């Protein structure tokens, strides 16, 4: 690839957001939010609608001024630098292509702003058109393109001038599933090829986990946790993060005891052992286990140290996996996801054992 750069290239920027606050009237859209965006990383901002993701992105881009806090890029305070001087690439929700300009002219726009020579612009536009697979569509107006093609133009336009940061606000939310997956792959590839720092907003948790090198989870204008996809999925900091990233089973434990590298507590009349969390020692807590980490068996399996008896209430078939809905003796409901290929179907109303290895469970504070 011509002009491709390696991650960590000098072109990519790092940004530190320090105690950013943003109020609209009396409403706090962002509360004391600190987040380090590392050079060349693919950071995803994930959170429910209204959690402040777009607001934070707009502040990063310079379209909104924070009410408090500051932004530092590569060691320089940029809090008061206007958007046109920051010049990050940006892909807006709904594309925001120039409707009166052709594909070519859209991509050339940022290059013309930078007063590049006609020859350079022509070469670069050709390169970008090829890179996002739009050869043959150069002379079309955006209205004549499909949603996925418009999305590609937006990506090409945002990357054409080699910005040090690319901000993307729910770029794929309007696309159907297949196209979305294709575009996700493309975004990933473009990130690797350009080495630019990507900040990507979504409220789709699987998209966040699949794409990013790090995920930052927002709720009510607060940053709840930031970490690698495995970290936030397997070791969520609280119940909101755990539940937002996917389905999870929560078993209330009475007093938690520490036991070396493990913690244990009682659920119904069983002892449940999970990974240690010293903060919760001596208190009531929740044992949290993902549905795909549990197995259902008719016999009591001795290889998994945690096992409880349940009654099967129903099943949902998902193709590759089947999800069973179960209820424990005292009425706590559970979901267990089993690969369809390797399990024989289990009839409703059967009494079964649900078991899981102790390292797959972790503790969450009881409450919310």
Partner 1 sequence: MGSATSRKFLLLGPLLLFLGLAYVVPFLGVVRWSFTLPETGFGQYIAVFTDPLVQSVFVRTLRICLIVTAASLITAYAIAYVWVRGSSVQRALAEFCILVPFWISVLTRAFGWLAMLSNRGLINTWLQSAGIISEPLALARNEFGVIVGMTHFLIPFAVFPIASAMRSIDERVLLAARGMGSSRSRTFWTVFLPLTYGGLIGAALIVFVFALGFFVTPAILGGGRSVMVAELVYLRIFQSPDWGLGAAISVVLVLFIAILLALLRRFIKPAHMVG
Residues of this chain that interact with Mg ion (CB under 5 A) are 54
> If you search the block for the tokens 């794409």, which residue do you land on?
211
Q: Cα separation of 216 and 223, whole Å? A: 7
Alpha-carbon dihedral sign for residues 146, 133, 184, 227: negative
Residue 352 sits in the site that holds partner 1 (CB under 8 A): no
Q: Cα separation of 45 and 52, whole Å? A: 10
Provide the minimum distance between the beta carbon of 100 and partner 1 in the complex, in angstroms, as a whole number.
5
Residue 315 sits in the site that holds partner 1 (CB under 8 A): no
Q: Cβ contacts of residue 338 below 8 Å, gap of 6+?
A: 295, 296, 321, 322, 323, 324
Phi, psi for 137 (deg, rounded to 5): -105, 5
> If you search the block for the tokens 């046109």, which residue do you land on?
84
Residue 318 sits in the site that holds ligand ATP (CB under 6 A): no
Which entry of Mg ion, ligand ATP, partner 1, none binds 92, CB below 5 to 8 A by partner kind? partner 1
Nearest Cα to Cα of residue 100 among 140, 138, 129, 128: 140
Stretch that binds partner 1, among 154-162, 274-282, 344-352, 353-361 (CB under 8 A): 154-162
Provide the minimum distance between the beta carbon of 137 and ligand ATP in the complex, in angstroms, as a whole number.
29
Nearest Cα to Cα of residue 306 among 355, 364, 261: 355
- Residues numbered 42 to 81 that lie near partner 1 (CB under 8 A) are 61-63
Provide the minimum distance between the beta carbon of 64 and ligand ATP in the complex, in angstroms, as a whole number.
8
Which one, 129 or 166, has the nearer CB to partner 1?
Answer: 166
Which one, 40 or 163, has the nearer CB to partner 1?
Answer: 163
Which entry of Mg ion, ligand ATP, partner 1, none binds 47, CB below 5 to 8 A by partner kind? ligand ATP
Among 49, 117, 342, 344, binds ligand ATP (CB under 6 A): 49
Residue 37 sits in the site that holds partner 1 (CB under 8 A): no
Which one, 160 or 201, has the nearer CB to ligand ATP?
Answer: 201
Which one, 54 or 273, has the nearer CB to Mg ion?
Answer: 54
- Residues numbered 171 to 230 that lie near ligand ATP (CB under 6 A) are 203
Residue 113 sits in the site that holds partner 1 (CB under 8 A): yes
R_g of the chain, CA atoms, integer Å:
24
Which one, 203 or 214, has the nearer CB to ligand ATP?
Answer: 203
Site size with ligand ATP, rule: CB under 6 A = 12
Distances (CA, A) of 297 to 10, 164, 315: 55, 53, 15
Which one, 162 or 222, has the nearer CB to ligand ATP?
Answer: 222
Which entry of partner 1, ligand ATP, Mg ion, none binds 50, CB below 5 to 8 A by partner kind? ligand ATP
Which one, 50 or 133, has the nearer CB to ligand ATP?
Answer: 50
Which token pair is 237? Answer: 């900091």
Among 6, 24, 99, 130, binds ligand ATP (CB under 6 A): 24
Which entry of ligand ATP, Mg ion, partner 1, none binds 110, CB below 5 to 8 A by partner kind? partner 1
Site size with partner 1, rule: CB under 8 A = 27
Give the three-class secondary structure for 203. Answer: coil
Q: Cα separation of 11 and 143, whole Å? A: 33
Q: Cβ contacts of residue 75 below 8 Å, gap of 6+?
A: none
What own/partner pairs with CB < 8 Å and gap ≥ 24 does 130-133 have? 131/1, 131/156, 131/190, 131/193, 132/156, 132/186, 132/190
Which token pair is 13? Answer: 């920027």
Instruction: Give the single-character DSSP code of 260.
Output: T
What are the residues binding partner 1 (CB under 8 A)? 61-63, 82-90, 92-94, 96-100, 109-110, 113-114, 157-158, 161
Residues of this chain that interact with ligand ATP (CB under 6 A) are 24, 27, 29, 47, 49-55, 203
């Amino acid at each position: 690839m011509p002009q491709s750069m390696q991650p960590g290239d000098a072109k990519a920027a790092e940004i530190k957001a320090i105690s950013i606050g943003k109020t609209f009237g009396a409403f706090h859209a962002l509360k004391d939010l600190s987040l380090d965006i590392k050079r060349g990383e693919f950071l995803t901002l994930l959170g429910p609608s209204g959690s402040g993701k777009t607001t934070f992105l707009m502040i990063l881009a310079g379209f909104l001024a924070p009410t408090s806090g500051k932004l530092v890029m590569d060691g320089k305070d940029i809090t008061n630098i206007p958007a046109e001087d920051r010049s990050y690439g940006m892909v807006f929700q709904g594309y925001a292509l120039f409707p009166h300009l052709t594909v070519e002219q859209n991509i050339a726009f940022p290059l013309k702003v930078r007063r590049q020579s006609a020859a350079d612009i022509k070469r670069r536009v050709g390169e970008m058109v090829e890179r996002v697979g739009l050869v043959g569509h150069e002379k079309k107006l955006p209205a004549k393109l499909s949603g996925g093609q418009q999305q590609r133009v937006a990506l090409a336009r945002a990357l054409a001038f080699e910005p040090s940061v690319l901000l993307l606000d729910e770029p794929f939310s309007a696309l159907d599933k297949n196209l979305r997956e294709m575009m996700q792959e493309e975004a990933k590839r473009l990130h690797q090829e350009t080495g630019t720092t990507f900040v990507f907003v979504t409220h789709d948790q699987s998209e966040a986990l699949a794409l990013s090198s790090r995920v930052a989870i927002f709720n009510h204008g607060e940053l709840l946790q930031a970490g690698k996809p495995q970290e936030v999925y397997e070791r969520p900091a609280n119940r909101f993060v755990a539940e937002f990233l996917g389905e999870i089973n929560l078993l209330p434990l009475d007093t938690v005891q520490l036991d070396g590298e493990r913690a244990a507590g009682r659920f119904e009349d069983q002892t449940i052992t999970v990974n240690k969390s010293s903060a919760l020692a001596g208190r009531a807590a929740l044992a949290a286990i993902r549905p795909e980490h549990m197995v259902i068996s008719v016999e009591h399996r001795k290889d998994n140290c945690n096992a409880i008896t349940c009654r099967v209430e129903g099943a949902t078939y998902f193709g590759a996996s089947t999800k069973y809905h179960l209820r424990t003796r005292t009425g706590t409901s559970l979901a267990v996801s089993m690969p369809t290929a390797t399990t024989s179907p289990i009839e409703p109303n059967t009494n079964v054992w649900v078991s899981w290895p102790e390292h797959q469970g972790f503790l969450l504070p009881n409450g919310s």
